[in-house]
Amino acid sequence: MLTREAGHNDVERAWLPDDANVVEVPLTATKYFSLEDVARELEACVYRGSFRALVVTSARAADYVSVARGSLAPGAQILVVGPATARALADRGIGVTALAPSRAVEIADSISSGPVLQLGASEMRDELATELAARHIATERVACYETLPLELDGIDRAVLASADVVLIGAPSAWSVARAYVGPDAWVVVPGATTAAAVRAHHVRVLENWGPQLRATLAALSSWTPEAHPGSGAEPSPGGAADT
């Protein structure tokens, strides 16, 4: 089952086996803030004009980068979280200095000096700011969108409850899904942050976000206790690196 918002599941669909019965049940929707509102937030930043690095945490923030660049110091780094974000900036002719696979905190070692501007969701996590604060690097955060939960109808809840595999891209999606996902379903997540949110309520979790998921699911579908007598455990699908 694919659960990203409507129109954003095509990439993940390509990771699934050809014979998979794929259903989309969007769990969240994005509310984008106006460029004017974001510009006002940027103008109010304490370090406006002197940011040495811009961290873009989501592809959804790509359209706001051109506005944010006016708040940067000359020669500032532009760093992104996730390959989708890098592609979104490349599509707009914006080059990036460094890429974190799945979490903003992974970019910390690539930041040589501050202050740092983070651009992303209103629900941005604190890990990067905390890590940089330990190195006496100041950060400011400006939100350009927020993620809103969707209300599921009876059909969507039933479909979610019957799924064998559910792709959950963020903790906000899991907060909607967790009451309905069956205990035997495998929940596939992009990285450690979402994995931790899911594991608080669910046992079967795979950090396996990318094209390699196809082979992992094929291996899971062929595994049975009868074929592995005495194993006493389920297969270990591994935690392939996030892509």
**Most confident region among 76-80, 188-192, 193-197, 206-210 by mean pLDDT:** 76-80
| pLDDT tens digits along 117-142 | 999 988 888 888 888 999 999 999 99
Mean pLDDT of 77-103: 87
The pLDDT of residue 47: 95
Asked whether the bond before 115 is cis by omega within 30 degrees of 0, the reply is: yes
Global pTM exceeds 0.85: no
Residue 157 has pLDDT above 50, yes or no: yes
Which domains, and CATH codes, for the chain?
10-27+150-223 (no CATH), 31-147 (3.40.50.10090)
**Average of per-residue pLDDT across 214-225:** 68
Is 222 or 69 the better-scoring residue by pLDDT?
A: 69
Is 22 in contact with 188 (CB distance < 8 Å)?
Answer: no
Q: Are 33 and 144 in contact (CB under 8 A)?
A: yes
Q: Secondary structure of 161-223 in the HEC alphabet?
A: HHCCEEECCCHHHHHHHCCCCCCCCEEEECCHHHHHHHHCCCCCEEECCCCCHHHHHHHHHHC
pLDDT reading at 6 higher than 50: yes
Beta bridge partners of residue 78, listed in sequence order:
54
* Residue whose C-alpha is closest to residue 213's, from 26, 59, 11, 58: 11
